[in-house]
Amino acid sequence: MSLFGSFSMTSINVLASVFVFVIGLIILVGVVMFIIDVSQTADAVRRNYPVIGRFRHLFTTLGEYFRQYFFAMDREEMPFNRAERDWVYKSARGADNTIAFGSTKTLTPAGTVIFVNCPFPKLSEDNEEAPALTIGPFAENPYVAQSLVNISGMSFGAISQPAVEALSKGAAMAGCWLNTGEGGLSPYHLRGGGDIVFQIGTAKYGVRDAAGNLSDDKLREVAAHDQVKMFELKLSQGAKPGKGGILPAVKVTEEIAGIRGIPAFQDSISPNRHVDIDSVPDLLDMIVRIRDVTGKPVGFKTVVGAYGWLETLCQEVHKRGIESAPDFITVDSGDGGTGAAPMPLMDNVGLPIKESLPVVVDILTKFGLRERVKVIASGKLITPAEVAWAYCVGADFVVSARGFMFALGCIQALKCNKNTCPTGITTHDRRLQRGLDPEVKSVRVKNFVEKLNDGTSIISHSCGVSQPRALKRFHCRIATGEGKSVPLDERYPVPAVMAEYTSRDAA
């Protein structure tokens, strides 16, 4: 008993000493922090409220995480709210994504999309698959594509090796295409065996010579891969129109640098435009050059701001012949996403897709080029309602990037421009990448595509048509914010083809 008592007293004395030491250490650290705070002049809050003022920065940093989990309502968050993310998460898992007890979405704010259901919707046995469309009829190797939803450009560099591999395998299983983004073609893009769209950014990564110019030999090397079906010239992208790609040095590994043809561990900054494309004729010349060299369809991606140049492009195409036209135009939204972009461009430059997509479709229609030039819609289209809206307006295909990031497990941590992504999607830290299993996540990519297709088809059937590509503008209404909505075809009437182009085509 005395031994037990002696042991207990010894333990208590040790604990007491440790406690006193810890308290003393805390006081010492506090005094040091106090002296530092009252002496510095960079932060007024810390100078006026030493030590305590430091908690402001801590709470500000933690605030974005607390809001997501505890304070934000289901429809409040940006850029994607919890209801949208949850729909993607459940779809990717193959789980039930129905809801109960009524919608939490307010239908009266201006711009809200409302589809016009018909009294006699299509029966399930009358439903049809969306027809395949031919892109690039004048190319040596046209691309016949059926997929309603495809994977938009995310470069190897902006996203990780296992993320690219999961997207590649998932795209093949889902029967959709995968866009490489501007970082070049990696072995991981090819690993799944699916269709690939090779994007040529302003820095010509992956197809550039030693001086940074476009190389015909490199183009032929890429085109030699049968999986590469098309080439996309990126003029601009949603979050930063007028600004090139930005990949921080910490993400430019030796492997990524080798694929891009640049030095490792240095910031990868693309020019803010193609230095060899300074006009509409230059653009058409480049499209023809790439198409002739590769034998495959070529189009371009752009964020629409000014749009008079699109009319000039259509006029120039008719002057040269319709074979000179771009095979497709990818219309990106001014509120699109990226790994890193200046806030002024991300917030305030470029038209959103709700305004720009009808403009592009109508200009092509007006000049009689709507069938020749396919239109691909991009920008926050991650749920069936948004995809169906794009088809009502006149899109031929829809692509998404961030929707597929959610399918891979993205939690919207807003750390894409760092190398610290907690889900392994946008980091090259091997420890963090361990959480992303390409075999598991590829199935979730496939599931997401299937659920998105099914949900879009449900809307089209409710509107009385057999498949989404049969949707028209009169199947959709837009809320005005005044307690009523207006038909989309009244807001954006489809123009008639100009007489000179109608007669020319007839001839």
What pLDDT, in 10s, does the model give residues 138-197? 999 999 999 999 999 999 988 899 999 999 999 999 999 999 999 999 999 999 999 999
Neighbour-count burial of 12, counting CB atoms closer than 10 A to its CB (0-12 exposed, 13-18 middle, 19+ buried): exposed
How much is the pLDDT for 223?
97
For residue 459, pLDDT over 90 is answered with yes
Q: Report helix, strand or coil for 53.
A: coil
Mean pLDDT score of the chain: 87
How much is the pLDDT for 383?
93
How much is the pLDDT for 310?
97
How much is the pLDDT for 175?
96
For residue 48, pLDDT over 90 is answered with no
Residue 160 CA to residue 158 CA, distance in Å, equals 7
Peptide bond into 79 cis (omega under 30): yes
Residue 79 CA to residue 77 CA, distance in Å, equals 6
- 52 pLDDT tier (thresholds 50, 70, 90): confident
What pLDDT, in 10s, does the model give residues 201-249? 999 999 999 888 999 999 999 999 999 999 999 998 766 666 677 788 8
- Spans of all domains in the chain: 2-71, 131-471
Among 16-30, 82-96, 443-457, name the most confident range: 443-457
- 506 pLDDT tier (thresholds 50, 70, 90): very low
How much is the pLDDT for 227?
98
Can you tell me the mean pLDDT for 34-58? 82
CATH topology of domain 131-471: TIM Barrel (3.20.20)
How much is the pLDDT for 507?
42
For residue 2, pLDDT over 60 is answered with no
Which positions ≥6 away from 498 have C-beta within 8 Å?
Answer: 366, 367, 368
- 336 pLDDT tier (thresholds 50, 70, 90): low
Residue 469 CA to residue 60 CA, distance in Å, equals 46
For residue 31, pLDDT over 70 is answered with yes
- 285 pLDDT tier (thresholds 50, 70, 90): very high
Q: How far is CA 300 from CA 231, 319, 394, 474, 489, in A?
A: 8, 20, 18, 29, 27
How much is the pLDDT for 1?
47
Closest CA to 409 of 419, 423, 422: 423
What pLDDT, in 10s, does the model give residues 475-486? 999 999 888 899
What pLDDT, in 10s, does the model give residues 309-335? 999 999 999 999 999 999 999 999 877
Residue 86 CA to residue 97 CA, distance in Å, equals 8
Contact 147, 170 (CB under 8 A): no
Hey, CA dihedral for 223, 445, 163, 73, is it positive or negative? positive
Among 47-51, 53-57, 168-172, 262-266, name the most confident range: 168-172
Q: Could you tell me the pTM of the whole model?
A: 0.86
For residue 68, pLDDT over 70 is answered with no
Residue 389 CA to residue 282 CA, distance in Å, equals 33
Between 453 and 380, the more confident residue is 453
What pLDDT, in 10s, does the model give residues 71-112? 565 556 667 777 788 888 888 988 888 877 777 777 888 888
- 64 pLDDT tier (thresholds 50, 70, 90): low
How much is the pLDDT for 79?
73
In percent, the amount of the chain with pLDDT more than 70 equals 90
Can you tell me the mean pLDDT for 271-296? 95
Between 416 and 173, the more confident residue is 173
How much is the pLDDT for 69?
61
